[in-house]
């Protein structure tokens, strides 16, 4: 009975850990050196800050100078008075008001589409990215169709495991990146972070293509041998992947729903890529067994 609870409990644990990592609300009100962290509360800064300021949720009214960077996650920043950021402004899911001419460095949106000004530009970016996904999916399926198919089968046979694995792996990637970022001053952190980034990107790309195959097979896959023989277009791995890209791509164009579904698909994708070891079905770790003399 307890075994049934293991996977859901792991999912909840990973979700909580991921939330704690990307939104460290426990650090609210802390001042580490010259830095300040605020979480889920309204703050007015009226005295200059020598270090960086981090805001997770809530509203920040900035009437004085921040000499370091300003990081805002799911919050709102209003510039007023002598309010200015000498470093960079990095934001995700946030509203920034009156920042024009008050940022010494650059403004970086963390989420890719936040930098886009209008809805039309966002849609154009999504469509352009969809073209890249289509080309990459076709090339990868031509090169490793069997591996993609095996991952797709795994996803359909144990979806919950793939989801939990994806969630835990994503949390692990973020935590590992944070751990490696401590090593950046010692130079070794840069190649480690680069390697982690490349591995994460490859995992996501491979996983998403497996998701395309899964969606294509679920929607347009043949159920019987006769049906398969009758078909001229909708058969084979390549066709399933193309159908999956087109369907998920159409969903991606829907505001909010598309973003949520693609985020979920990414979690499933990372999970299935790791669960099947990129479709090779080989164990990640060798089990120790004593040799029989």
Partner 1 sequence: MTCEDYLEDPEGNASHLASCSICAALEEEVEVRHQPMSVDALPLAPWEGAKYRTWPLVGAGLLAVFTLAIVLSAAAEVSPLTAVTASMPSVKALLTFFQLTGRAMGAPVVAVLFVVINTVLFLLLRRAPKGADV
- Taking the complex as a whole, the smallest distance from the CB of residue 264 to partner 1 amounts, in Å, to 18
Q: Determine, following the binding rule CB under 8 A, whether residue 12 of this chain makes contact with partner 1.
A: no
Among 3, 100, 143, 224, binds partner 1 (CB under 8 A): 224
Q: Per CB under 8 A, does 168 bind partner 1?
A: yes
Binding part of the chain for partner 1, among 41-49, 57-65, 75-83, 234-242 by CB under 8 A, reads 234-242
Q: Which residues contact 130 (CB under 8 A, 6 or more apart)?
A: 245, 249, 252
Least separation in angstroms between CB 65 and partner 1:
18
Q: Does 252 bind partner 1 (CB under 8 A)?
A: no
- Provide the minimum distance between the beta carbon of 284 and partner 1 in the complex, in angstroms, as a whole number: 5
* Closer residue to partner 1, CB minimum distance, 223 or 289: 223
Positions in 202-221 near partner 1 (CB under 8 A): none
Q: Which stretch binds partner 1 (CB under 8 A): 40-48, 74-82, 87-95, 258-266?
A: 87-95
- How is residue 267 written in tokens? 């979690």
For 103-118, letters b (16+ CB in 10 Å) and e give beeebebeeeeeeeee
Would you count residue 86 as binding partner 1 (CB under 8 A)?
no
Question: Which listed residue (46, 82, 146, 230) binds partner 1 by CB under 8 A?
Answer: 146
Query: By C-beta, is 61 or 189 nearer to partner 1?
Result: 189
Q: According to the binding rule CB under 8 A, does residue 144 interact with partner 1?
A: no
Number of residues that bind partner 1 (CB under 8 A): 100
Q: Does 96 bind partner 1 (CB under 8 A)?
A: no
**How far is residue 165's CA from residue 160's CA, in Å, rounded to a whole number?**
8
Among 111, 188, 254, 260, binds partner 1 (CB under 8 A): 111
Q: CB–CB of 49/32 below 8 Å? A: no
Residues 27-66 that bind partner 1 (CB under 8 A): 27, 30, 32, 35, 37, 52, 54
Q: Are strands 53-56 and 89-92 parallel, antiparallel or unpaired?
A: unpaired
Show Cβ contacts of residue 34 under 8 Å, excluding neighbours closer than 6 positions.
49, 50, 51, 52, 67, 68
CA quadruple 196, 201, 204, 206: dihedral sign:
negative
Strand residue runs (E) in the chain:
36-39, 43-45, 53-56, 59-62, 65-66, 70-73, 76-79, 84-85, 89-92, 95-97, 107-109
CB of 101 to partner 1, least distance (A): 20
Q: Which is nearer to partner 1, 286 or 293 (CB)?
A: 286
Classified as helix, coil or strand, 208 is: helix
Contact 133, 254 (CB under 8 A): no
15 binds partner 1, rule: CB under 8 A = no
Residue 175 is a binding residue for partner 1 (CB under 8 A): yes
Task: Catalogue the long-range contacts made by 236-239 (C-beta closer than 8 Å, 24 or more residues apart).
Answer: 237/141, 237/145, 237/148, 237/149, 237/213, 238/138, 238/141, 238/142, 238/145
> Does the footprint of partner 1 cover residue 74 (CB under 8 A)?
no
Q: Is residue 138 at the binding interface for partner 1, with CB under 8 A as the rule?
A: yes
């Amino acid at each position: 009975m307890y075994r049934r609870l293991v996977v859901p409990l792991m999912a909840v644990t990973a979700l909580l850990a991921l939330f704690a990592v990307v939104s460290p609300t426990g650090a609210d009100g802390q001042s580490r050196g010259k830095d300040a962290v605020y979480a889920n509360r309204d703050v007015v800064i009226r005295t200059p800050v020598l270090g960086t300021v981090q805001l997770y949720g809530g509203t920040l009214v900035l009437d004085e100078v921040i000499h370091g960077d300003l990081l805002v996650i799911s919050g709102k920043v209003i510039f007023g008075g002598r309010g200015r950021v000498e470093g960079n402004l990095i934001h995700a899911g946030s509203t920034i008001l009156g920042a024009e001419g008050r940022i010494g460095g650059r403004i970086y949106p963390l989420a890719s589409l936040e930098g886009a000004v209008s809805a039309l530009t966002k849609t154009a970016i999504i469509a352009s990215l969809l073209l890249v996904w289509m080309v990459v999916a076709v090339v990868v399926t031509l090169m490793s169709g069997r591996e993609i198919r095996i991952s797709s089968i795994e996803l359909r046979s144990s979806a919950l495991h793939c989801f939990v694995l994806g969630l835990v792996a994503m949390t692990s990637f973020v935590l590992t990146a944070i751990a490696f970022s401590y090593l950046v001053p010692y130079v070794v952190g840069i190649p480690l972070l680069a390697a982690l980034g490349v591995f994460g990107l490859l995992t996501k790309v491979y996983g998403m293509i497996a998701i395309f195959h899964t969606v294509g097979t679920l929607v347009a896959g043949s159920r019987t041998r006769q049906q398969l023989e009758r078909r001229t277009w909708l058969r084979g791995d390549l066709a399933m992947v193309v159908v999956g890209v087109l369907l998920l791509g159409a969903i991606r164009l829907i505001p909010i729903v598309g973003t949520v579904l693609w985020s979920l698909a990414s979690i499933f994708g990372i999970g299935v890529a790791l669960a099947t070891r990129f479709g090779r079905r080989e164990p990640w770790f060798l089990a120790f067994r004593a040799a029989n003399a």
